[in-house]
Amino acid sequence: MKKFMGLMEKYLMPLAMKMASNRHLNALKDGFVYTMPFLIIGSFVLLLVNLPFRDVNTPLYMKWYDNLMTAYKANLVQPFYVSMGIMSVFVAFGIGSSLATQYKLNGTTGGFLSLFTFLLTAAKLEWAPIGGYQAAELLGNNDYLLNTFHQGSGWMPIMDARYLDAKGLFTAIVGAFISIEIFRLLVSKKMTIKLPDSVPPAIAKSFELLTPIVAVILVFHPISLLVQKSREIFIPELLLEMFRPLVSASDSLPAVIGILLVVHILWFAGLHGVNVVVAIINPIILTNLATNQAALQAGEKATKVLAGGFLDAFVYLGGAGATLGLAIAMFLSKKDHIKSIGKISLIPGLFNINEPIIFGAPIVMNPILFVPFIITPIINATIAWFAVKSGLVGHIVSLVPWTTPSPIGALLATNFSMGALILSVLLIGLSVIIYYPFLKVYEASLDREEAMELEAVKVD
């Protein structure tokens, strides 16, 4: 263990510290954090309009719900389209704002520059001719709008929105990083427009962005046109092709186990492992979630396992390390010191907050509890993986707040799959069983330490 700790301190800790303090990774994390409330609400709306109550061949069929969705689903699903359906727009602004702020630039203008870059490369706008019938369909038979388009015939501006959802995430990320670096370079070289101090700050900041906007156009627009002409695809498609092997490989059990090893080794060293890696895995799990949601909308079978809150529902039961099981085991302990920590940690653990037990037990730098801390989530993930793959448990199709108790979160995230609820409860029970013998060993080590301290006092 001493040798292992020495290797961690020499190689892993410096790397982890660099990752934790990296501006671009922090901006990536912030971009998704800012976006998450919109995605959660959009996911719930999608869930509400796709409840499993419309199949007449099942006992769950509800005629009133089927009639309601038949008549109004297209209208009710709108919040989903303007949240999950354009998530890359939110992410682009969030990343640009965070990175600009870290560089001591104006966060708002940085966010808008990043958003402009994304739309420039991912949302092509064209004017399309429309006839009377098409206009009536597109404009909802609105007389005023129809008259504006010359009684239903004319031209309509149409923006290609295919890549504003999860398919545009990699474009949003790359565009945000490059555009803010251009912004920073021009500001540092004093190549921006400076207005007199008498000009209101908001106006002065907006004019400061003129030069970076021109620079972004000169950099990205020719590249976008070149890609379209040479490859006959958009930049988002090109980036998707480049990252597709990574996304595909990540949706595998070995990839999940690799992620869990990194997260829990970092936690053992005292670093917030989830925060370190979340910026890297968020684009992948949200892309997979969007794939599952598209299948749900089309009435097809979802295929992605590592999507949305899969880890929260079946692996992080009580937080990293599945420590709700440890909290329950400690709560049942006969040793007062251990039992008190279990009591304090139990309620937060139900809501996936486990800092009290990680630092109170402690698990950090504790070689005895480190073993179950790292093997329990791996066992949980393996069981859940095969359960989802085999169809015993539904796939994740909705985002749920990470503080939702895991069994409830599993039920909601899988569109009310009872198998998911049962599996999550069973995995919590399994976590208690795995932690229990190691807790007993830990209790025995504490007893020995107390005995040695008493013996030392007697000798003195």
pLDDT digits 0-9 by tens, 251-307: 899 999 999 998 888 888 777 778 778 888 899 999 999 999 999 988 899 999 999
Q: Could you give the percent of the chain with pLDDT greater than 70?
A: 89
List the single range of 54-63, 76-85, 290-299 with lowest mean pLDDT. 54-63
Q: How confident is the model at residue 152 (pLDDT cuts 50, 70, 90)?
A: very low
Query: How high is the pLDDT of residue 109?
Result: 93
Residue 231 has pLDDT above 90, yes or no: no
Averaged pLDDT for residues 87-92:
95
pLDDT of residue 4: 63
User: Would you say the C-alpha torsion 243, 248, 251, 257 has a positive or negative sign?
Assistant: negative
Q: Rounded mean pLDDT of 316-321?
A: 92
What pLDDT does residue 327 have? 94
Q: Does 176 lie in the same domain as 276? A: no
Q: Do 281 and 297 sit in the same domain of this protein? A: yes
Q: Lowest mean pLDDT: which of 100-104, 110-114, 337-341, 445-449?
A: 445-449
Looking at the predicted structure, is the pLDDT value of residue 458 above 80?
A: no
pLDDT confidence tier of residue 131, bands split at 50, 70 and 90: low
Average pLDDT, the chain: 86
**One domain for residues 138 and 117:** no
| Residue 61 clears pLDDT 80, i.e. is over it | yes
Higher per-residue pLDDT: 95 or 19: 95
**Residue 303 φ/ψ, nearest 5 degrees:** -125, -20
Structure tokens at 311: 């880890």
If asked whether residues 155 and 179 sit together in one domain, one would say no
Whole-number Å distance between alpha carbons of 129 and 103: 45
Residue 11 has pLDDT above 80, yes or no: no
Kindly indicate the confidence band of residue 154, based on its pLDDT and cuts at 50, 70 and 90.
low
Whether 56 and 74 share a structural domain:
yes
Q: Above 50 in pLDDT, residue 151?
A: no
Q: Is residue 262 part of a domain?
A: yes
* 148/199 same-domain check: no
Which has more confidence, 5 or 333?
333
Model confidence at 138: pLDDT above 90: no
Q: In angstroms, what is the C-alpha Rg of the chain?
A: 27
Domain that holds residue 153: 127-159
Give yes or no for residue 309 having a pLDDT over 80. yes
Alpha-carbon span 252 to 311, nearest angstrom: 13
Q: How many structural domains is the chain composed of?
A: 3
311 and 181 assigned to the same domain: no
The predicted pLDDT at position 173 comes to 95
Please state, in angstroms and as integers, the Cα–Cα distance from residue 127 to each residue in 145, 148, 226, 263, following that order. 16, 15, 21, 49
Residue 9 maps to a domain: no
Question: Is the model's pLDDT at 340 over the cut of 50?
Answer: yes
Q: Give the separation between CA 180 and CA 373, rounded to whole angstroms.
A: 40
Within a domain: residue 417? yes
pLDDT at residue 8, rounded to an integer: 64
Give the pLDDT confidence score for residue 57 in this predicted structure: 81
Domain boundary among 215, 243, 271: 243
Q: What is the pLDDT of residue 459?
A: 62
Are 118 and 231 within one domain? yes
Residue 249 confidence (pLDDT) above 90: no
Q: For residue 173, tell me if it sits in a domain.
A: yes
The verdict on 184 and 153 lying in the same domain is: no
Would 16 be classed as within a structural domain? Answer: no
Higher per-residue pLDDT: 225 or 174: 174
What's the average model confidence in pLDDT over 306-314? 94
pLDDT, mean of residues 333-354: 90
264, 390: one domain: yes
Percent of the chain's residues with pLDDT above 90:
53
134 pLDDT band (50/70/90 cuts)? Answer: low
The reply to whether 10 falls in a domain is: no
Residue 9: pLDDT over 90: no
Higher per-residue pLDDT: 417 or 451: 417
Task: Specify the pLDDT at position 299.
Answer: 85
* Spatial contact of 305 and 295, defined as CB atoms under 8 Å apart: no
Q: For the residues 4-30, what does the mean pLDDT come to?
A: 76
**If pLDDT is split at 50, 70 and 90, which confidence band does 445 have?**
confident
- Which pLDDT band, with edges at 50, 70 and 90, does 129 fall under? low
- Do you know the residue count of the chain? 460
Residue 415 and residue 343 share a domain: yes
